[in-house]
Amino acid sequence: MIISHQHRFVFAAIPKTGTHSVRQALRAHMSADDLEQVALFVNKRFPFEELAAITHGHISLQQVRPFLGEDAFGGYLKFAFVRNPYDRFVSYCAFMTRANDAFSRNPKGVMRHILFEARPMQHILFVPQHSFVTGADGEMLADTVGRVEDMQGSYDAICARLGLPTTELGVINSSRRGHYRDYYDPELIDGVSALYRRDLELFGYEF
Cα dihedral across residues 179, 18, 59, 107: positive or negative? positive
> Given a cut of 80, is residue 60 above it in pLDDT?
yes
What is the tally of structural domains in the chain? 1
Asked if 189 and 207 count as a contact pair (C-beta separation under 8 A), the reply is yes
pTM reported for the whole predicted model? 0.94
Query: Cβ atoms within 10 A of the Cβ of 167, count?
Result: 15
- Indicate the pLDDT class of residue 40, thresholds 50, 70 and 90: confident
Q: In CATH, what number is assigned to the domain containing residue 78?
A: 3.40.50
Find the domain containing 57 and state its range. 2-203
**β-pairing verdict for 2-4 and 35-36:** antiparallel
Question: What does the chain come to in residues?
Answer: 207
Cβ-based burial of 44 (10 A; exposed 0-12, middle 13-18, buried ≥19) = middle
Region 126-148: mean pLDDT is: 97
Indicate the residue type of 95. F
pLDDT tens per residue, range 101-115: 999 999 999 999 999
User: Which residues, listed in sequence order, are joined to residue 44 by a DSSP beta bridge?
Assistant: 38
* Greatest Cα pair distance in the chain: 52
Amino acid at 182: D
Q: Among residues 95, 97, 111, which one has the least CA distance to residue 188?
A: 111
